Structure 1
Amino acid sequence: MFLCLASLLAALELALADRKYGLFTGGFGQSQAVDRLAERALFLVSYAAAMAMLVITVWWIIIRIFRSRESWPPLFFLTTIVGGAYILLLALTFQLHQYFSDTMSFALMANLGGGSLTDALLFASDEIVLAVVGLALGLSAYIYAYRFLSRRFPKSCDDPAWPACGRLAVAAFLLTLILAIAVPMISSDVKNSLNRTLAWGLFTTAANRLTDFDNDGYGWVSDMPDRHPFNSTRYPLAMDVPGNGIDEDGYGGDLELLPLPPQPPLTEIAGKRPHLILIVMESTRYDVIGKRINGKTVAPNLEAIARSGSLISPVLSHVGFTTASLKSLFSGSLQPASGSPSLFRELKASGYEISVFSGQPEGFGDIAETVGMRENADLFLDGEKLKHLRAFSNGAQGSILIDEKHLLDAFAEAYQVPAKWEKPQFLYFNFQSPHFPYYHKDMTLNLVDRPLPRSEISAANKEKLRETYWNAVAYADQRLGELVVKLKRDGVWDDSVVIITSDHGEDLFEDGFLGHGHNINIRQNGIFLVTNRPGVSANGAVGLSDLRAIILSLLKGEKPVIPANPVLMTVGDLDSPTQIGISEGTSDITSLRLDTGEACMVEQNHCAHADHLSGTFRHRVERLIRIWGSARWQNRAERKRD
């Protein structure tokens, strides 16, 4: 019976995990799928051990509590408690409410306007069926367990029919502990996938805490095991104090600080103040300029602006995720604190009116709060406010996408009076169509006859996927062209600094990965800067955080001076990344995985363990570690001043 219970819970969890993370099938944002036979075998053994340990341990605890009573009630309680609690934790972990309530309410609103309840139900059929089937199965299992256990199990906890569950629990614990230590050394893909599961995650968290002898947050079972288990000042990702002769974080020896440029101070624009039109094209890669699909130009409007104005490509996104990228763009900092200087704060102080037309929720990841977007905007329309117009039914903040048409309609309505332009304006547009899954029903098919449906997105269909992606970029460019036409028709184009850029790039199964922000390379981190102002160029690497200074120079009528500083990139937070990288030229990228020690000269596709490097390769990695350590130290100092 308990094998059936555990099997049902495991099947439910693994199905949800594969749907959300693509553990076995891969997919968007999943860089470490368990897709080989040996990996799957190791995963299933480890997962089964963790599930067995959890179920048997809870079973043993309940038996001990109810030792003096009849045996079936504790078993029934076990079914109820373990099954119910596990399902509740799964619901919280996978945020199932976003699959059900919001999806169905949106579908009803969208379709009932046309008077069709049938269409509304069909629109949400997947989620409704999943909910009904899950509820029916749960009730059936509950009733069956009650009747079965009350009749069939022994009446005393001392009955020899009971297994020696205490010994079984210890055995399962030891097996899981051995696997938890061994798996990271065998396969990072399996380790990453196991960490997505509940029983394994609960166990490794507890085991790591128990083996964290110096209470520094790192034990034997952490992603980065503690090499100094009895020294609380030395552990992975510790802040390396420069010049003290100690290598606190274990990377590159004692930190030698390098001078890095500070975050630019708040700057006000005086005198003649041109309008600023800033357009961010979500997930659009650096190679959009010059890209052709089936003989057709992907972004003719973007290319036309670049020809008459300026182009810098590639520009490098520091993190490869939207939230951190937009914060860097607006603040000029790698990791700004809330309230830091930003374009929104300084242009508001300079007398600009500010309008936001965004196809995503700008509160997602505290973007708006950090850079002062909402508090300084005179008109604020984002994905959350326009939620009723979203292209997809999912109500999760990260999944809301508003078609650019709605943004341009709102802009046309707000700026239909010419007098609006008599005061300097700062307009921020965020075009979301190039975001995964790269197609929605209102999108024009400029480059393809049939877009690849979401259900068919896989490495096997990568060529069709790439065409679908570039078609989405072409659609955003089409809407950009419509915006340019209106700006020129209203006579404000020449009086405006127009900036078009992106937040990050996108891997399209070039290395077997789909998405962004999971590895440092030119496809995931490489973007572009196009402006209608000529004469903007760079001789070295340019990062997204450099754009604020470039924009302010253009608004002041000055030629931007872009210093030749290294561009730091991270996978994850600046203080606790899994991978770091730098670029000091137009194409060279050096990267280092802090969890596995793998270092790469990315442009040469050459990788080796950081402990076995020499010559130029070693020098590049050592410089990368120094720049990362210096940036962390500077960021810490700036936050203390704030």
Structure 2
Amino acid sequence: MLRRVWLGISGGLLGGTLVGIGEALVVLSGASTGEYQALVYATVLYALIGVAMGIGVGIGLAVLGMVFKKLSDPRAWSLGFLGVLVPLGLVIARYVVNKVVYAEQGVPMTGNLAILGAFAAIALLTLWLVPIVLTKTPLRMLAEPRGTAAAYSGILTLAAIFSFAPSGEDPAGVLAPENPATDAPGGAPDAVLVVIDTLRSDVLGAYGDEGGLSPNIDKVAAEGVLFEEYITQASWTRASFASLYSSMLPSGHKCILKAENLPDDVVTLAEVMDAHGYATGGLPNNINVTRSFNFQQGFDYFSYQAPSYIAGAAESSAQLSMYNVLRKVRDKVTAGSYTVTDYYQPSEVVLENARGFIEANREKNNRYFLVVHLMEPHDPYFAHPYDGNAVGRAWNPNPDPSEAPRLKELYRNEVKWVDQELGKFFDWMREEGAWDNTLVVLTADHGEEFQEHGGWWHGITLYDEQIHVPLIIKPPGRELAGARVPWQVREIDVAPTIGTFAQAELPPTWQGKDIFDSDAKSTIEQMLNPPPPPVLPEDEDGVADADNDGEAQAEAGPVVTPETLARVAVAEQNFEGNDIQAIRKGGCKYIEANEGNPRGLPTTALFELDGDPTEQKNLAGGDAGRCDPSALQSEMKDTIATSADNEITNDEGEMSCSDCERLMALGYMSDCTGPCGG
């Protein structure tokens, strides 16, 4: 009987080790983390899991051996091996197929049968081949304790050598490259792009809120230019950042679904800045926009502000499935007392790292471009000062509607907190002389819903509470200070604007355009310094002749107005089965959603925003007023089709368990059974 238990443990040990090494190799072959600890970590952790499962299988084999007296040792070892390999592999395979092939719509019966058939074939092959190997080859030693120990020790030694071999490079890259500014155009400014995750515009004083939450952001608005109608191209982080960096609609950059990475074929803002002599730095603070999804493109220094790791894990090891077993144990032990660093790094930590990047590059006289990603006020919404209390989408996905005031107050306190920390950072820049001649852009990737349309959080609608967010630009030298721009601009316009300030050549693939083009800039200047009223020509009787003045204006060319400067904004979303497109133009907004979408959105919606800014009166199918739904739909479809007509191919990657768990902790995933092997 003990012999059977041992054979189960032996097979389970090597089966678990094989699964772990396989997953580690997948992790390390994907988007690079810059270190290789995952291989040795997986070799140890998965072996322990294999042993635990192998004990159970071994006991079962002992019972089976009493019933079937002819159960051979090689066959018993094979069953122990398969008892670990098949259950984990089957669950993970089904998850990946659902994610990559069926876009989270559920695997149909034919797909499930195909997966089961594949694993049945693997099991039959193992049951046939392994007994031959364990009886007729030198590998028969694996069926003995010393042989198993020797084989595992050899695997562990090789994994350790590979994992800990010094690379001589910082995984984050080079903090301050050697004099890239020698190639930067003369007079081009340093640039800092601050993205505050999940920030609505209507909670800022500069946008009309009277709660006093954002005095420091409001001060930046007073020193720069505030855009009243700024629209993002998606309402969840990965797709939105992809548009921000690539100046393309989601249909263009093709990073839309949860399983999709940012393709190598896109040209990012960081790549453009790097090519024009800038030291480029990125401080991503959300797993969606890290190396795991290929967002490091173009950055000399790219340091994920990762949540705290446990059990000695590094970034690569934290992407392993079984790492999250430890995490779940910790979460159960600490349930009800939440720690912010388990979800993201707080603003004070990220901004301290931003100071380090700026200081290092100023010391070398480098021209620099830095992206700072702050997670407050993204959920979980933490009380301030931190006391362990928080509300998050991961553990409370659908709060009672009566909770909206309380959750919104927690959200607003997060806004107040991030504003305070930004104030300290901006004051430091002023004291260091790094403020006046720096281009500072402050924006958000999307907003947040608090029951305005019967839901919560973000990512599954394209209503304005989720895509109408702040944009404040402080040009170097405080040019245009205090201006408020009333016309509509878009997220895809930010990269061309920063690139133009850097005097860079803009890629032809970019679909946005400089926010401060000549017409816009001259109009803003006239808004700040209105010219004196024109002197009208007089007729023979000395009376001002308005008709002649109109003829003179017509001869001078078309009149530039805020209406003519407004840019058509198209947004797209395919998130958790909600496939949505929207267009916002001329004070009208048209939205289409797929039939039977999980959120229950109407398949068509039409709003006249001037009279209905909160989008409560759906005019679709009724009196559309001055809005033409057919024309809006046609332009939306044409714009999306034009955007999608390029050589870029979508890049689908296999999501690691750790990435899935982090997405789930931030509310982007509802289940991680597949990649986490449970």
TM-score normalized with structure 1 length: 0.51
Distance 1:204 1:518, change over 3 A: farther
Instruction: Give the secondary structure class of the aligned counterpart of 2:469.
Output: strand
Using a 3 Å threshold, how does the CA distance of structure 1 residues 463 and 207 change in structure 2: closer, same or farther? farther
CA distance in 1, matches of 2:358, 2:436: 17
Q: Which residue of 2 aligns with 1:351?
A: 277
Alpha carbons of structure 1 residues 543 and 196: separation in structure 2 relative to 1, 3 Å: closer
Compared CA separation, residues 196 and 320, structure 1 to 2 (3 A)? closer
The one of 569, 572, 579 equivalent to 2:571 is 569
Letter in 2 for 1:282: D
Distance 1:385 1:468, change over 3 A: closer
Paired AA for residue 572 in structure 1: N
Match for 1:542 among 466, 471, 489? 489
SS in 2 for 1:497: strand
- Residue pairs, 1:115-514, within 5 angstroms: 201-203=107-109, 205=111, 270-290=185-205, 296-334=211-249, 335-336=252-253, 337-361=263-287, 362-363=289-290, 366-369=293-296, 371-373=297-299, 377=300, 379-384=301-306, 400-416=343-359, 419-420=362-363, 422-439=365-382, 443-444=384-385, 452=391, 458-460=398-400, 461-514=403-456
What's the CA shift string for 1:510-545, capped at 9, x where partnerless? 323222221111011121111223366655432211
C-alpha change, 1:556 and 1:344, in structure 2 (3 Å) is same
Query: Does structure 1 conserve the Cα–Cα contact (< 8 Å) formed by 2:213 and 2:415?
Result: yes
Tell me, in whole angstroms, the C-alpha distance in 2 between the residues paired with 1:346 and 1:197. Answer: 34
The answer to whether residue 465 in structure 2 is matched with residue 523 in structure 1 is yes
Contact 1:452 1:464 in 2 (8 A): no
For residues 158-186 of structure 1, the C-alpha deviation after alignment (integer angstroms, 9 at most, x for no partner) is xxxxxxxxxxxxxxxxxxxxxxxxxxxxx
Maintained 8 Å contact 1:348/1:354: yes
TM-aligned CA deviation for residue 627 of structure 1: 2.7
| Structure 2 residue identity aligned to 1:331 | S
C-alpha distance after superposition, 1:416-435 (max 9, x if no partner): 56952732221211111222
Which residue number corresponds to residue 582 of structure 1? 583
How far is 1:565 from its partner?
3.4
* Alpha-carbon distance in structure 2 between the residues aligned to 1:277 and 1:530: 12
Determine the C-alpha separation between the residues in 2 that align with 1:316 and 1:552: 19
Q: Which amino acid aligns with 1:560?
A: F
Cα displacement string for residues 54-100 of structure 1 (whole angstroms, at most 9, x for unaligned residues): xxxxxxxxxxxxxxxxxxxxxxxxxxxxxxxxxx9xxx9xxxxxxxx
Structure 2 match to 1:253: none
For structure 1, which runs of at least 5 residues remain unmatched after alignment? 1-87, 93-130, 152-191, 210-267
Task: Name which of 501, 508, 516 aligns with 1:560.
Answer: 516
Residues 196 and 350 of structure 1, relative CA distance in 2, 3 Å threshold: closer
Hey, what's the Cα distance between the residues in 2 that align with 1:291 and 1:538?
12
Distance (Å, rounded) in 2 between the aligned partners of 1:449 and 1:137: 36
Q: How far did 1:559 drift? A: 7.5
Aligned to 1:58: none
3-state SS of 1:459 partner: coil
Which amino acid letter does the alignment assign opposite residue 235 of structure 2? G
Q: Report the alpha carbon displacement of residue 504 of structure 1 after superposing the two structures with TM.
A: 1.1
**Partner-residue secondary structure (3-state), 2:234:** coil
Q: Note if contact 1:577-1:594 (Cα within 8 Å) is conserved in structure 2.
A: no
Aligned equivalents of 1:464, 1:353: Cα separation in 2: 43
Residues 1:422 and 1:382: Cα distance change in structure 2 (over 3 Å): same
Structure-2 separation of matches of 1:493 and 1:505: 27
Task: Note if contact 1:580-1:592 (Cα within 8 Å) is conserved in structure 2.
Answer: yes
- TM-fit CA distance, 1:546: 0.8
Query: How many angstroms does 1:414 deviate by?
Result: 4.5
Report the 3-state secondary structure (helix = DSSP H, G, I; strand = E; otherwise coil) of the residue aligned with 2:489: coil
| Alpha-carbon distance in 2 for matches of 1:513, 1:617 | 25
Per-residue deviation, 1:630: 3.0
Report the alpha carbon displacement of residue 451 of structure 1 after superposing the two structures with TM. 5.3
Whichever residue aligns with residue 435 of structure 1, its letter is H
Find 2:603's aligned residue among 598, 602, 610: 598
CA distance in structure 1 between the aligned counterparts of 2:465 and 2:633, rounded to whole angstroms? 21
Alpha-carbon distance in 1 for matches of 2:419, 2:269: 24
Q: Work out the CA distance in 1 between the residues paired with 2:295 and 2:398.
A: 34
Instruction: Identify if the C-alpha distance between structure 1 residues 345 and 292 changes in structure 2 by more than 3 Å, giving closer, same or farther.
Output: closer
* Aligned residue pair count: 406
**Contact 2:235/2:447 (CA < 8 Å) preserved in 1?**
yes
| TM superposition shift of 1:571 | 1.2
Measured in 1, the distance between the counterparts of 2:604 and 2:426 equals 44
Partner Cα distance (2:366, 2:446) in 1? 32
Distance 1:368 1:488 in 2: 30
Query: Once the 2 structures are TM-superposed, how far is the Cα of residue 560 of structure 1 from its aligned partner?
Result: 0.7
Q: Report deviation, 1:138.
A: 13
1:599–1:621 contact (8 Å) kept in structure 2: no
Helix, strand or coil: the match of 1:588? strand
Partner of 1:616: 628
Shift of 1:340: 3.0
Distance between the aligned counterparts of 2:376 and 2:186, measured in 1? Answer: 37
> Could you tell me which residue of structure 1 aligns to residue 642 of structure 2?
630
Give the counterpart letter for 1:444 in structure 2. Answer: P
Change (3 A) 1:555 1:499: same
After superposition, the Cα gap between the structure-2 partners of 1:422 and 1:364, relative to the gap in structure 1 and judged at 3 Å, is closer
Task: Tell me: CA distance 1:295–1:307, structure 2 relative to 1, closer, same or farther (3 Å).
Answer: closer
**Compared CA separation, residues 419 and 498, structure 1 to 2 (3 A):** closer
Structure 2 letter corresponding to 1:553: T
**Cα distance change, pair 620–146 in 1 and its aligned pair in 2 (3 A):** farther
Shift in Å, 1:550: 1.9
Q: How has the CA–CA distance of structure 1 residues 140 and 351 changed in structure 2, closer, same or farther, with 3 Å as cutoff?
A: closer
In 1, distance between residues paired with 2:484 and 2:207?
24
The letter for the 2-side match of 1:438 is Y
Residue 322 of structure 1: how far off its partner (Å): 1.2
Change (3 A) 1:450 1:352: same
Q: Separation in 1 of the partners of 2:474 and 2:284?
A: 21
| Residue 354 of structure 1, CA deviation | 2.1
- Partner Cα separation in structure 1 for residue 272 and residue 453 of structure 2: 41
In the aligned structure 1, how far is the partner of 2:291 from the partner of 2:455? Answer: 24
- Structure 1 pair 142/294, CA: closer, same or farther in 2 (3 Å)? farther
| Letter in structure 1 aligned against 2:185 | A
Q: TM-score, normalised by structure 2?
A: 0.49
Q: Give the number of the structure with larger relative contact order, counting CA–CA contacts within 8 Å between residues 6 or more apart.
A: 2
In structure 2, what is the Cα distance between the partners aligned to 1:415 and 1:617?
49
Conserved 8 A contact 2:306-2:344: no
1:197/1:288 CA distance change after superposition, 3 Å: closer
Distance 2:588 2:466 in 1: 13
Q: Amino acid of the residue matched to residue 541 of structure 1?
A: Q
